[in-house]
């Protein structure tokens, strides 16, 4: 009886809160094409606007989802060395391969403080996430090296064990031979 009462209360409380759920609870972040027309460009801007952060988030997601070909096209177009292009390049490189992560980190660190104040928290978040991935990759490489060293050590120890086993077998054969000689008149 108590179980039914509790289940009934849980069901009622769940149903009572449904009016506060959004109609599309799991909608994705805005893509570049979903941003207002004045915020749509090839790359997000450093000019302060109402949609500046949304444009950077959309570009970050596009970069994360982009493949090697997309990333190479973007990098080929980013030939400038101003703060804006360096930060855009950092976003693109941050989702590339591990060798590109170092360059992305350098770019973020050099230019975050030059970005508009409203954008700095997002860029710092991305830098921290990138540094976390770099740290994990470093630990993984370290663990692989340790594993390889242990495997080599195990192989070496197995070789030594086999050598000792062979020596013990040889000593056993010598002992048998000596015992046979002592038994013979």
Per run of 10 residues, the mean pLDDT along the chain (length 185 residues) is: 54 50 44 55 78 90 93 90 92 92 94 92 95 92 89 85 86 83 74
Contacts of 40 (CB under 8 A, 6+ apart): 32, 33, 55
**pLDDT score, position 20:** 45
Q: Which token pair is 68?
A: 């090697």
DSSP 24: S
**pLDDT score, position 36:** 57
CB 46 within 8 A of CB 115: yes
**pLDDT score, position 4:** 58
CA separation, residue 5 to residues 2, 14, 154 (Å): 5, 14, 62
CA separation, residue 113 to residues 73, 106, 144 (Å): 27, 13, 36
**pLDDT score, position 179:** 81
**pLDDT score, position 31:** 47
Contacts of 88 (CB under 8 A, 6+ apart): 43, 44, 59, 74, 78
């Amino acid at each position: 009886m108590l179980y039914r009462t509790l289940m009934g209360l849980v069901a009622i409380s769940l149903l009572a809160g449904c009016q506060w759920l959004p109609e599309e609870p799991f909608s994705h972040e805005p893509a570049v094409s979903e941003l207002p027309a004045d915020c749509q460009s090839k790359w997000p801007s450093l000019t302060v606007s109402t949609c500046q952060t949304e444009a950077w988030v959309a570009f970050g997601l596009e970069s994360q989802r982009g493949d090697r070909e997309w990333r190479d096209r973007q990098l080929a177009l980013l030939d400038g060395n101003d703060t804006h292009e360096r930060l855009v390049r950092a976003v693109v490189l941050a989702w590339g391969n591990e060798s590109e992560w170092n360059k992305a980190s350098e770019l973020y660190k050099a230019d975050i403080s030059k970005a508009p104040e409203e954008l700095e928290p997002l860029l710092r978040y991305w830098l921290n996430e990138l540094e976390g991935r770099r740290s994990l990759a470093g630990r993984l490489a370290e663990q692989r090296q340790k594993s390889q060293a242990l495997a080599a050590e195990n192989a070496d120890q197995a070789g030594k064990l086999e050598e000792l086993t062979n020596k013990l077998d040889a000593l056993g054969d010598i002992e048998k031979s000596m015992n046979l000689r002592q038994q013979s008149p």
